[in-house]
Structure formats: structure tokens, C-alpha cells
């Protein structure tokens, strides 16, 4: 039976995308892993791979189409022995997401199996189907091989997108041998459905346009990134109980140390920025105050062991927050090189989802724009974000009571009170300040 290929969710926040380019045409034979198309998500342009083998029978959505909803059929794949006459009528309309039954554990709504139709992924009741009424996602070829081998697909762990069972999984499985369920799956309770909450809404589009009917203006269409930024930041401010901690940091010792290091590293083509030191200082502070290295997970906290630090990068029409993983383990020069690479690819919209998803702590630096201080919005599920202002020469009273001049940088730590209490947040910020005011400590 022909398989509908659906518009996939290629990033965690993607609801629709642009089908930028087809890399196959009708009649082409494809194998698992072949690139079918390039799709522009709300964050980047990504390649979409085939998860099974077959022939491209019909392309439903032309290249360049914008606003294609996730789960919309974009093409039809034919299996061996099938022809275009077997396709029938296929409508390029979004497929509804299956609702969990009362007996099935609740799972987050997501498009089925990496862009392949959930109808075709559903198990048969015979020959490698499901057991106990539990829905199993598998490719038609995997189901056929499972039936020949006498395998129960509900006992096979899928390695395809969203856990979908593919050909390689059933070929590697042995009859009567079940894959051991993960500890996480065994211990995770069914997710509780949150009570619907009515969020306050602003004036309608029509009402706002009416206000400015007699004024000259340009209407700017929202792209996927702008919609995502608006949605997530509105959610963050409405659902996260922010509180703010502020400190001034004396930068003179760091600036002198940075200048010395850059002179010594010039031959290697390395130039450290103040932001590289801030990343390192934050990563080490999360190790010093491990209880603050945590994220909010609906009904629990997740305390991370590594320091995965996200850094906000401005791009045309929005921003990315690429994550530097295990930042506490990396040298300043390694962090500098990685940050430059991530920032460049963020501006080119070439980051993969795993490069901007995750982290427990974020940094937003507007100092290069001359901003003295500001309050940043927490990026859920992070526990905190550090807003960094410019280093400015100011008069200060020294330890001996004498008036002197120092370079002062103002920072504000925005904290999720569900994750980090006031005293804990103050302890974290103190550790960051100590690292930056005593930069040699970060190399010890």
C-alpha cells in the first residue's frame, strides 16, 4: 500500500515550514537515509531523510511552498510492485494527531514517525502487529519482515524517528526476545493533563489596523522564527515566576589578564573575548553551586551534572541560543572557537536542533551595544539567564577608602523561583562574580 510522506517536525518548536527544495523527483528510487528534500523550519534549513526504501510515486507539495503545516502529506512513496495507479486520491491536508486512549499513557502530541504517515505506521492485528491494544509505529516493510519472522512488533525497540520501527530493527531482532524497556520508560508516570488556562489576549489584528487606518505603515508578515519567539517569550513571562538579582563586577583584572593571553595566543590565531570568560565563569559557578544547575520539568526538577551553557545569538528576524555542552571541561580557547562557529552557523540558519536544544543556564550579552544593564527573559526550561551589560569606567571607593576609577560591568541574573530560591540564586551569582574578578582561578 502506498505510503504518505508527511511534513515532519524537524525542530522542537516547529508547527509549519517551507518546502525549500526537492532533491528527488517522481519515479526516483530511494533508500533509507537518502535525502528527500530541504525544509526551512522556524530555526534553520534542514535536510529531510527517507526512513525506508521505495519509489517516489507522486509529489504533492511543490518546492518553494510556504506555511506547510506539520503532518501535511507532501509526497507518496510506492513499495515494490506498486505503481502510480495504486495511489488514488491523496489530499495535501494535515493529518490529525492520534489522541491517546484511556488505557494508553499520555504522550506529547507530535507528528508520527519522522514525517511518514501514522496511518501506514499503525500495526496490523496480525503478523507482527500490536499486543494488548498498544499502538506501535513501524514501516510497512518492517511489518512484512516481522510477519515472516514471527516477531511481535510491540517487543521490538525502534531506532527510527520518534521510535519508529524500521527494517534494520526487525532484521536484528530475534523471535521471543524482547528489548528491555528503558529505566526511564519503566519509571515514568503517565503525564497529567494540565487544566486549560485562558491566557490574556491583546487587541485583534483588525482592531490594531483600524487604529492606524489613517497612518502610513508597512505590514510585515511574521515568519516561523518570529512566531516562535513571540509564543515562547509570552509563555515564559506568563508562566515562569521570575525574580532578579543584580551585581556590579570589577573587570580590570580580567581585561589585563585577557590582554596578556591574547598576546601569547596571537600566533595560534586565537583572540579571546570577554564573553568567553563569562561563559567559562558561569560554567564553573554551576559546578560550585550544583543545586542551581537545574531545569523545570513540569512536576519535577532535573539537576544536571555537566554545565551546558546556552548563549543568545541575534540573527535577522529573531535569535538562537546555541548550547556549549560540558563548558566547565573546556579551555577558554576551545570555548572561544566553538562559540564563533556556533554563532556563524546560527546567523546562516545552519544549526541542527541538538545544537540549540538543552542547557540549564543562558547568557544574553548586550554590552557591545552600549547597554548598561537590562533584565533578560528566561528561556524555558532553563533555571536562570544572565543579562550582561557593558563595561564602563566609573568612580569607586577602594578598600583603603580612596576614590579611584575602575571598569564596572553590571549583570542581572533572572531566576525561575520554581527552580532556584533567592539565597541559592545569590550564591550562584556570587560564584560567577568571584570567577570574573579573579580570572586566574578559572585556569586552576
**Secondary structure class of 266 (helix, strand, coil):** helix
Question: What's the chain's Rg over C-alpha atoms?
Answer: 26
List the one residue out of 9, 12, 60 whose CA is nearest residue 39.
9
Residue 297 CA, distance from chain mean position: 15
DSSP 363-384: EEE-GGGT-----PPP-TTBSE
- Active site (annotated) includes residue 417: yes
Contact 360, 303 (CB under 8 A): no
List the one residue out of 289, 274, 288 whose CA is nearest residue 390.
274
CA distance 16 to 70: 5
The residue from 242, 354, 382, 417 that is catalytic is 417
Q: Where are the beta strands (DSSP E) in 191-341?
A: 242-250, 294-296, 301-303, 309-311, 313-315, 318-320, 323-324
User: How far is the CA of 24 from the CAs of 57, 159, 166, in angstroms?
Assistant: 11, 24, 21
DSSP label of 330: S
CA diameter of the chain: 90
DSSP 214-226: TS--------HHH
Q: Where are the beta strands (DSSP E) in 23-135?
A: 29-30, 35-40, 45-49, 54-59, 65-69, 73-78
CA distance 36 to 23: 5
Which residues are designated catalytic? 417
Amino acid at each position: 500500500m502506498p505510503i504518505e510522506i508527511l511534513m515532519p517536525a524537524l525542530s522542537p518548536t516547529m508547527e509549519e515550514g517551507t518546502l525549500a527544495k526537492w532533491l528527488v523527483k517522481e519515479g526516483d528510487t530511494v533508500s533509507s537515509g537518502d535525502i528527500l528534500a530541504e525544509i526551512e523550519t522556524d530555526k534553520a534549513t534542514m535536510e529531510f531523510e527517507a526512513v525506508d526504501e521505495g519509489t517516489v510515486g507522486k509529489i504533492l507539495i511543490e518546492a518553494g511552498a510556504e506555511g506547510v503545516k506539520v503532518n501535511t502529506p507532501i509526497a507518496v512513496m510506492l513499495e515494490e510492485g506498486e505503481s502510480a495507479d495504486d495511489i488514488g486520491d491523496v489530499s495535501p491536508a494535515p493529518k490529525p494527531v492520534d489522541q491517546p486512549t484511556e488505557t494508553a499513557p499520555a504522550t506529547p502530541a507530535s507528528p508520527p514517525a519522522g514525517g511518514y504517515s501514522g496511518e501506514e505506521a499503525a500495526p496490523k492485528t496480525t503478523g507482527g502487529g500490536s499486543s494488548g491494544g498498544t499502538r506501535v509505529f513501524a514501516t510497512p516493510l518492517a511489518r512484512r519482515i516481522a510477519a515472516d519472522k514471527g516477531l511481535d512488533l510491540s517487543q521490538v525497540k525502534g531506532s527510527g524517528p520518534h521510535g519508529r520501527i524500521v527494517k534494520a530493527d526487525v532484521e536484528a531482532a530475534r523471535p521471543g526476545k524482547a528489548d528491555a524497556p528503558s529505566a526511564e520508560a519503566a519509571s515514568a508516570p503517565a503525564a497529567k493533563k494540565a487544566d486549560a488556562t485562558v491566557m490574556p489576549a491583546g487587541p485583534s489584528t483588525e482592531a490594531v489596523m483600524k487604529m492606524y487606518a489613517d497612518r502610513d505603515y508597512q505590514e510585515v508578515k511574521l515568519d516561523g522564527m518570529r512566531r516562535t519567539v513571540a509564543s515562547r517569550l509570552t509563555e515564559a513571562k506568563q508562566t515562569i515566576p521570575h525574580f532578579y538579582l543584580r551585581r556590579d563586577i570589577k573587570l580590570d583584572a580580567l581585561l589585563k589578564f585577557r590582554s596578556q593571553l591574547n598576546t601569547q595566543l596571537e600566533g595560534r590565531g586565537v583572540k579571546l573575548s570577554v564573553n568567553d570568560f563569562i561563559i567559562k565563569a558561569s560554567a564553573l559557578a554551576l559546578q560550585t553551586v550544583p543545586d542551581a544547575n537545574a531545569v523545570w520539568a513540569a512536576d519535577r526538577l532535573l539537576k544536571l551534572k555537566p554545565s551546558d551553557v546556552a548563549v543568545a545569538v541575534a540573527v535577522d528576524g529573531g535569535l538562537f541560543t546555541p548550547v556549549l555542552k560540558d563548558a566547565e571541561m573546556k579551555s577558554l580557547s576551545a570555548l572561544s572557537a566553538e562559540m564563533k562557529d556556533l554563532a556563524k552557523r546560527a546567523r546562516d540558519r545552519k544549526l541542527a536542533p541538538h545544537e540549540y536544544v538543552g542547557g540549564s543556564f543562558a547568557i544574553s550579552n548586550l554590552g557591545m551595544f552600549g547597554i548598561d544593564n537590562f533584565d533578560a527573559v528566561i528561556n524555558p526550561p532553563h533555571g536562570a539567564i544572565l543579562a550582561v551589560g557593558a563595561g564602563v569606567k566609573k568612580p569607586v571607593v577602594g578598600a583603603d577608602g580612596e576614590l579611584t576609577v575602575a571598569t564596572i560591568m553590571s549583570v542581572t541574573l533572572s531566576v525561575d523561583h520554581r527552580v532556584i530560591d533567592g539565597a541559592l540564586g545569590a550564591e550562584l551569582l556570587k560564584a560567577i562574580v568571584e570567577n570574573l574578578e579573579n580570572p586566574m582561578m578559572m585556569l586552576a
